[in-house]
């Protein structure tokens, strides 16, 4: 199986439908329309086999604020491996592809990890954000205490991570903020 990387517009309608179906199945019905919207518009890394999409992830632009500065972050979304192929290195292969994109285009990588996915990200050098998580939403700045401990960052190309003494303020979006 070969890892492929392409922007959303190059996947085509049929492949995008296959990705969405795999994500719906992999997340056991807990992958919403908002989650799908968050996955689109960036760069996808995926692996296919004779049964279709075997593994997938995407990286999209987000602009978190830190100490009054807007950071260019490659935010990882929609990472999953089909159940029959888990624990065979496909998640790592997808992440390696996405990390190359992050290193080439962003100041840092960011993602929100499930308890099941956290080990993969830790093993690849991603670090839990130890500071506060906030969102700049329609009502102003709001702390997201329930998200603290699940957001991971990865410096791009050897850069330093932001200082956790100041909050990381995520940009507003519908659905799950992180």
Please report whether residue 120 resides in a domain. yes
Average pLDDT over residues 30-58: 97
Please report whether residue 33 resides in a domain. yes
Cα(167)–Cα(142) distance, integer angstroms: 11
Lowest mean pLDDT among 88-92, 98-102, 114-118: 114-118
The alpha carbon of 41 is separated from its chain's Cα centroid by a whole number of angstroms, namely 13
Whether 158 shows a pLDDT value over 90: the answer reads: no
Please report whether residue 73 resides in a domain. yes
Whether 157 shows a pLDDT value over 80: the answer reads: no
Backbone angle region of 154, left / alpha / beta, with phi > 0 → left and psi within -120 to 50 → alpha: beta
Q: What is the pLDDT of residue 170?
A: 96
Alpha-carbon Rg for the chain in angstroms: 16
DSSP E strands: which ranges in the chain?
Answer: 3-7, 43-49, 52-62, 65-66, 69-70, 73-81, 108-112, 127-128, 133-137, 140-143, 151-155, 168-171
Q: What is the per-residue pLDDT across 48-76, written as a single tens digit (0 to 9) for each?
A: 999 999 999 999 999 999 999 999 999 99
Please report whether residue 176 resides in a domain. no
**Are 108 and 99 spatial neighbours (Cβ–Cβ below 8 Å)?**
no
116 falls in which pLDDT band (50, 70, 90)? confident
Pairing of strands 140-143, 133-137: antiparallel
Please report whether residue 177 resides in a domain. no
Find the domain containing 163 and state its range: 3-171
163 falls in which pLDDT band (50, 70, 90)? very high
Q: Has this prediction a pTM greater than 0.85? A: yes
Q: What is the pLDDT of residue 153?
A: 97
Average pLDDT over residues 104-129: 94
CB atoms within 10 A of CB 140: 8
Split into its structural domains, the chain has a count of 1
Q: What residues have CB less than 8 Å from 125, skipping those under 6 apart?
A: 154
Q: What is the per-residue pLDDT across 6-30, written as a single tens digit (0 to 9) for each?
A: 999 999 999 999 999 999 999 998 9
**Are 91 and 79 spatial neighbours (Cβ–Cβ below 8 Å)?**
yes
Instruction: Record the tokens describing residue 66, joined without a space.
Output: 């830190």
Domain with residue 125: its CATH number is 3.40.630.30
Our CA angle for 8, 72, 137, nearest 5°, is 90
Please report whether residue 178 resides in a domain. no
Residue identified by tokens 């991971």 is 152
Residue identified by tokens 């709001």 is 142
Share of residues in the chain with pLDDT > 90 (%)? 92
Cα(79)–Cα(26) distance, integer angstroms: 9
Q: What is the pLDDT of residue 159?
A: 80
């Amino acid at each position: 199986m070969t890892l492929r990387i392409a922007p959303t517009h190059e996947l085509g309608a049929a492949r995008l439908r296959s990705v969405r179906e795999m994500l719906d199945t992999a997340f056991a019905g807990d992958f919403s329309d908002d989650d799908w919207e968050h996955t689109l518009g960036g760069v996808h890394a995926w692996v296919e086999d004779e049964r279709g999409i075997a593994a997938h992830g995407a990286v999209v632009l987000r602009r978190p604020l830190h100490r009054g500065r807007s950071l260019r972050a490659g935010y990882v979304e929609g990472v999953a491996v089909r159940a029959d192929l888990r624990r065979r290195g496909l998640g790592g292969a997808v992440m390696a592809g996405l990390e190359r994109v992050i290193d080439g285009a962003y100041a840092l990588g960011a993602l929100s990890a499930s308890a099941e996915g956290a080990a993969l990200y830790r093993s690849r050098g991603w670090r839990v954000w130890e500071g506060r998580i906030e969102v700049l939403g329609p009502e102003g700045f709001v702390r997201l205490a329930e998200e603290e401990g699940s957001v991971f960052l990865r410096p791009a190309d050897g850069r330093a991570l932001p200082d956790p003494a100041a909050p990381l303020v995520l940009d507003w979006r519908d659905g799950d903020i992180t």
